[in-house]
């Protein structure tokens, strides 16, 4: 075997190794983002979305310039009454679709600076954290919709 062949062989095996380990690649998707339009006089609203990540992540923070205060909330039924409470983080398990939807998890927009009207695009800044505590910030836009306003079951 001459030197040139050895070099080529090394190169080929290095390329193979690199191909076999696409490590460090973060695939984090946030889609179908929408915010509920406000009813007259109301200064709160909520935003909903789908989140999917290739590796385990946590949604740790949500912010929006349209709201004086933004929190991540979980809605739950307790003794037949819907209540909601703030959560510190939302677990995004690897490869699993996480739904923020009416009646469940949502991004609560409080102290709104102006009403959210149909067709508005509400900017949201979402902060995610991985297992190593590294953060990823995603800027998304929530489309304002009136959808699901009568989804409460009795």
Residue closer to Cu ion by CB (options 58, 73) is 73
- Would you say 34 or 53 has its CB closer to Cu ion? 34
Q: How far is the CB of 35 from Cu ion (least distance, A)?
A: 12
CB of 132 to Cu ion, least distance (A): 30
Kindly list the residues in this chain that would bind Cu ion in the complex (CB under 5 A).
73, 84, 108
Task: Give residue number: closest CB to Cu ion.
Answer: 73
Phi, psi of 89 (to 5 degrees): -160, 155
- The string over 9-30, giving b where at least 16 C-beta atoms fall within 10 Å of a residue's C-beta and e elsewhere, is eeeeeeeeeeeeeeeeeeebeb
> Which one, 53 or 116, has the nearer CB to Cu ion?
116
Longest dimension (CA), the chain: 82
CA distance linking residue 75 with residue 82, whole number of Å: 7
Smallest distance from Cu ion to CB 67, Å: 12
């Amino acid at each position: 075997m001459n030197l040139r062949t050895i070099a080529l062989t090394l190169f080929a095996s290095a390329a193979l190794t690199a191909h076999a380990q696409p490590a460090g690649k973060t695939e984090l998707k946030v889609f179908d983002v929408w915010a509920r339009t406000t009813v007259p006089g109301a200064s709160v609203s909520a935003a909903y979305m789908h989140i999917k990540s290739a590796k385990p992540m946590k949604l740790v923070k949500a912010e929006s310039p349209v709201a004086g205060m933004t929190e991540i909330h979980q809605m739950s039924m307790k003794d037949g009454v819907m209540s909601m409470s703030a959560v510190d983080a939302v677990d995004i398990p690897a490869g699993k679709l996480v739904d923020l939807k009416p009646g469940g998890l949502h991004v609560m927009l409080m102290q709104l600076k102006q009403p959210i009207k149909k067709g508005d695009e509400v900017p949201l800044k979402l902060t995610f954290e991985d297992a190593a505590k590294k953060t990823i910030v995603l800027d998304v836009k929530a489309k304002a919709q009136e959808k699901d306003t009568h989804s409460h079951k009795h």
